[in-house]
C-alpha cells in the first residue's frame, strides 16, 4: 500500500513539475526572417476572445517548439532582407506542423513596391510548403479604402456567406483555390486557400487585411474571415475553444 501511495505521490509531483500539457490552440504571428509587422492589436484581441493565446514573434528563426500553436501567420518574410530565407530545419518544422489537418499556416504578402525583392523569400517558402500556393508579384495596392470584390468563392468555408473582403487588396496569389478577387484584377485573387486539403494553407495578398492601420477588422465580414482563419480548420470540425468549469458541467447535466 505504501508503495502504491509513494508511486501516486511521485506521479502527482511529476505532473505538477511538468505543468499543463500544450494546448495546441494558440496563435503565432511570426514576422521574423526580416518580415514586416505593423500593429495587430485588433487581430490579437479577436484571437484572444476566441480562447487562443496570441503570440507575436520577430525572432530571426521560428520558435523551436511549435506545439502550442494551432494557427501560424507568417508576415511578409524577406521584406527588409531579401536574402533571409527559411532554413531547411524550419521548413521541416512547418511541414510537420501542417501534417496535422487541424493546423493552419497563413502566408501574408505585400504589393511589389513595398515588398521589393524580398518577395522571393515568400515565394520560396510557399514552394517549400507543398507548392499548393504560388506567390506572384503584385503590381499595385488599391489602398486602405477600396471595398469592392469582383467575386467571392462561396464554396470555400473560409468565405461562405461573406462579401466585401477585398480591402487593401493586392492581387498577388496564383494557384490554390481562389477565395476572393478585387475588382481591379479579376484574374489574380488576393486571398487563396488550399480548401480543406492538407497542407492547410491560406495566402493573403496584403498585410493590411489583418493589421490595425486600415481598420478593416471593424468590418463584420473581415472580422468573420479573421475568426474563421482560426475556427474553421481543414479537419472540417469547428475548433473547441470554450473553457468550462466543473460547476457549469454539473449544471448542464442536472
Is 114 within 8 Å of 82 (Cβ atoms)? no
Shortest distance, position 7 Cβ to other proteins, whole Å: 37
Q: How far is it, in rounded angstroms, from Cα 191 to Cα 107?
A: 10
Quick one: the chain helix, strand, coil %, rounded to 5?
Answer: 30, 15, 50
Q: Which H or E run contains 102?
A: none
Is 148 within 8 Å of 166 (Cβ atoms)? yes
Shortest distance, position 245 Cβ to other proteins, whole Å: 10
* Segment contacting other proteins by CB under 8 A, of 1-9, 96-104, 190-198, 212-220: 212-220
Per CB under 8 A, does 208 bind other proteins?
A: yes
Is 130 within 8 Å of 201 (Cβ atoms)? yes
Per CB under 8 A, does 187 bind other proteins?
A: no
Which residues, 6 or more positions from 250, have their beta carbon under 8 angstroms from its beta carbon? none
Q: Which H or E run contains 108?
A: strand 104-108
Collect contacts of 42-49 with beta carbons under 8 A, ≥24 apart.
42/212, 42/215, 42/217, 42/218, 43/210, 43/211, 43/217, 43/226, 46/217, 46/223, 46/226, 46/227, 47/71, 47/230
Residues 70-109 that bind other proteins (CB under 8 A): 79-80
Shortest distance, position 12 Cβ to other proteins, whole Å: 30
Q: How far is it, in rounded angstroms, from Cα 77 to Cα 98?
A: 19
Measured from the CB atom, the residue of 129 and 204 that comes closer to other proteins is 204
- For other proteins, what does the binding mask look like between residues 118 and 157, x meaning CB under 8 A? -----------------------xxxx-------------
Residues 12-41 that bind other proteins (CB under 8 A): 36, 38-39, 41
Contact with other proteins (CB under 8 A): which of 120, 127, 212, 235?
A: 212
Residue 78: how many other CB atoms lie within 10 Å = 25
Per CB under 8 A, does 238 bind other proteins?
A: no
- For other proteins, what does the binding mask look like between residues 36 and 75, x meaning CB under 8 A? x-xx-xx--xx-xxxx------------------------
Shortest distance, position 170 Cβ to other proteins, whole Å: 9
Interface with other proteins (CB under 8 A), residue total: 40
Given the rule CB under 8 A, which residues bind other proteins?
A: 36, 38-39, 41-42, 45-46, 48-51, 79-80, 110-111, 113-114, 116, 141-144, 168, 206-208, 211-215, 217-218, 223, 241-242, 244, 248, 251-252
Amino acid at each position: 500500500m505504501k508503495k502504491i501511495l509513494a508511486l501516486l505521490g511521485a506521479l502527482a509531483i511529476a505532473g505538477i513539475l511538468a505543468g499543463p500539457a500544450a494546448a495546441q490552440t494558440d496563435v503565432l504571428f511570426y514576422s521574423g526572417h526580416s518580415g514586416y509587422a505593423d500593429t495587430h492589436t485588433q487581430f490579437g484581441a479577436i484571437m484572444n476572445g476566441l480562447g487562443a493565446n496570441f503570440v507575436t514573434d520577430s525572432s530571426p528563426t521560428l520558435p523551436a517548439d511549435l506545439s502550442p500553436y494551432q494557427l501560424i501567420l507568417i508576415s511578409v518574410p524577406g521584406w527588409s532582407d531579401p536574402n533571409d530565407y527559411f532554413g531547411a530545419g524550419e521548413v521541416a518544422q512547418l511541414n510537420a506542423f501542417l501534417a496535422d489537418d487541424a493546423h493552419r499556416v497563413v502566408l501574408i504578402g505585400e504589393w511589389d513596391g513595398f515588398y521589393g525583392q524580398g518577395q522571393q523569400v515568400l515565394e520560396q517558402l510557399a514552394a517549400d510548403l507543398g507548392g499548393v500556393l504560388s506567390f506572384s508579384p503584385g503590381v499595385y495596392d488599391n489602398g486602405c479604402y477600396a471595398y469592392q470584390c469582383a467575386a467571392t468563392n462561396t464554396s470555400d468555408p473560409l468565405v461562405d456567406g461573406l462579401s466585401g473582403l477585398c480591402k487593401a487588396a493586392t492581387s498577388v496569389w496564383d494557384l490554390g483555390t481562389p477565395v476572393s478577387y478585387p475588382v481591379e484584377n479579376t484574374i489574380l485573387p488576393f486571398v487563396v486557400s488550399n480548401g480543406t486539403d492538407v497542407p492547410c494553407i491560406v495566402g493573403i495578398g496584403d498585410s493590411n487585411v489583418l493589421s490595425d492601420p486600415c481598420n478593416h477588422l471593424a468590418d463584420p465580414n473581415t472580422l468573420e474571415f479573421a475568426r474563421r482563419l482560426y475556427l474553421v480548420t481543414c479537419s472540417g470540425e469547428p475548433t473547441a475553444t470554450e473553457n468550462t468549469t466543473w460547476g457549469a458541467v454539473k449544471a448542464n447535466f442536472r
